[in-house]
Amino acid sequence: MRHVTDMKVSPPLSAEELGGMAGRTVTIHGIVQRIRKLGWGAFVILRRHDGLVQCVMGREGNEEILESLDVEQSVRVTGTVEEARVKDLSINPRTVEIRIDSLEVLAVPAEQSPVDMTKKVLDLHIDTNLDLRPLTLRHPVERARIRVADTLAATFRAALAGMGFTEIHTPKICSAGAEGGANIFRVKYFDREAFLAQSPQFYKQMGVGIFERVFEVGPVFRAEPHQTSRHVNEYTSLDFEMGFIESFEDVMAVEMAVLKRMMRMVRERNGYQLEMLGAKVPEVPSGIPAVTLEEAHKVVLDVTGEDFTGEPDLSPEEEKVLCGHSFREWGSEFLFVTHFPTEKRPFYTMDDPDRPGTTLSFDLLLRGLEVTTGGQRIHDYGMQVEKMKAFGLEPRSFEGYLQAHKYGLPPHGGLAIGLERLTARILDVENIRLTTMFPRDVKRLTP
């Protein structure tokens, strides 16, 4: 018998730590990203968990190692940290480099990578990029986008936990769709039909009756046959639901507070990635402007002359115009649009009693794209049953969901933020597939 201890449980040296270790000897591991061989030796760039580090290896005594060293080999190096001035923005930190004393190859690839990692930006068609995703994600630019998304999701969790929210984990195989309609994936569940979750909405509302404030970070599935730069069929949704609200604006206020923290943490944690990507994180103002859908259409008419009056939703072109107007006139890259028509919002959305035909709902736009949908929900059992019937739904098909209403729910509301869309808008990436590790769309099921 032997015992396994926790003596080796420690994180690898971070880039920040390495930056303060000039003159010290360190041992690190990494994967060879690229090599620049010169007469005196070589620059060896290693890919690590938080960036690329520059190493320097002299030729004398290392001829055999340098001859066989190649990209994508996993190595362990020991050397002295020396001060340096590195101009390459993909290196982290750029204030030091490691002069290698010894290098051990731990693993070698079976084949040469077809992706050239020496370029500042991958010069690949997006389909090629996605076909080779396990490789292209190794490029510093591609990695940087995913690291920003990581910060956003982690901060969403931390911010809401600090506001008394409980994190929940809801089923992704369901007996009914939260949003209804045709954009739902059907799956065979033993001897009956089931559906992939379009949203954790039903379970969030149930959770309000249990914990009052709940949130979830998880996948949702939409069977929309879109092939656009703004849609994928599986994405990560940042959801929360909160009870005892006085108005749907309470939900909007919580989102503002959470977004402020998310943007601040991206600036603090992802300075390396932001500088490399040339991205500027948007400021969340002390008050995000809000207009009704009717007012939004009027703004577009005044700015462009195009009349969308009466349209039940915003077109992509309108979203861009509205965001430009908001920034010019109100100094905000964020804009709330409220009061969408009853028929354009799900059956659980509360109607505005003061504006018949409209709902207490909102979208949040950022830099020309909707990144959030939310609003106040129906908490009264009789009202919810009647609205289901008005939508042509059979309440008996939703008995599990309606238990929460039947046995009492407080006034409540919530929202959902699309993580990939939010990341794309922060980084000014046009296609949200490039802020998704392994996107799923109409044509793509692998890798």
> pLDDT tens across 237-273, in order?
999 999 999 999 999 999 999 999 999 999 999 999 9
> What percentage of the chain exceeds 90 in pLDDT?
92
Range(s) within the chain of domains with CATH label 2.40.50.140: 15-107
Residue 163 has pLDDT above 80, yes or no: yes
What is the pLDDT of the chain when averaged over all its residues? 95
Residue 243: which residues within 8 A CB-CB, separation 6 or more?
208, 209, 212, 213, 409, 410, 411, 412
Type and span of the H or E element at 258: helix 248-269
What's the average model confidence in pLDDT over 113-125?
Answer: 91
> Range with the lowest mean pLDDT among 129-138, 174-183, 412-421, 433-442?
174-183
> pLDDT category, 139, cuts 50, 70, 90?
very high
What's the average model confidence in pLDDT over 117-126?
Answer: 91
Q: Count other C-beta atoms under 10 Å from residue 1's C-beta.
A: 2
CB 82 within 8 A of CB 102: no
- pLDDT value for 227: 81
Residue 63 has pLDDT above 70, yes or no: yes
Taking the C-alpha atoms of residue 367 and residue 352, their distance in angstroms, rounded to an integer, is: 28
- pLDDT value for 430: 92
- pLDDT value for 302: 97
Picking from 370, 441, 363, 425, the residue whose alpha carbon sits closest to that of residue 148 is 425
Taking the C-alpha atoms of residue 334 and residue 289, their distance in angstroms, rounded to an integer, is: 8
CATH architecture group of domain 15-107 = Beta Barrel (2.40)
CB 285 within 8 A of CB 292: no
CB 102 within 8 A of CB 62: no
- Report the CATH number of the 140-435 domain: 3.30.930.10
> pLDDT category, 123, cuts 50, 70, 90?
confident
Interval 183-211: pLDDT, tens: 899 999 999 999 999 999 999 999 999 99
- pLDDT value for 181: 64
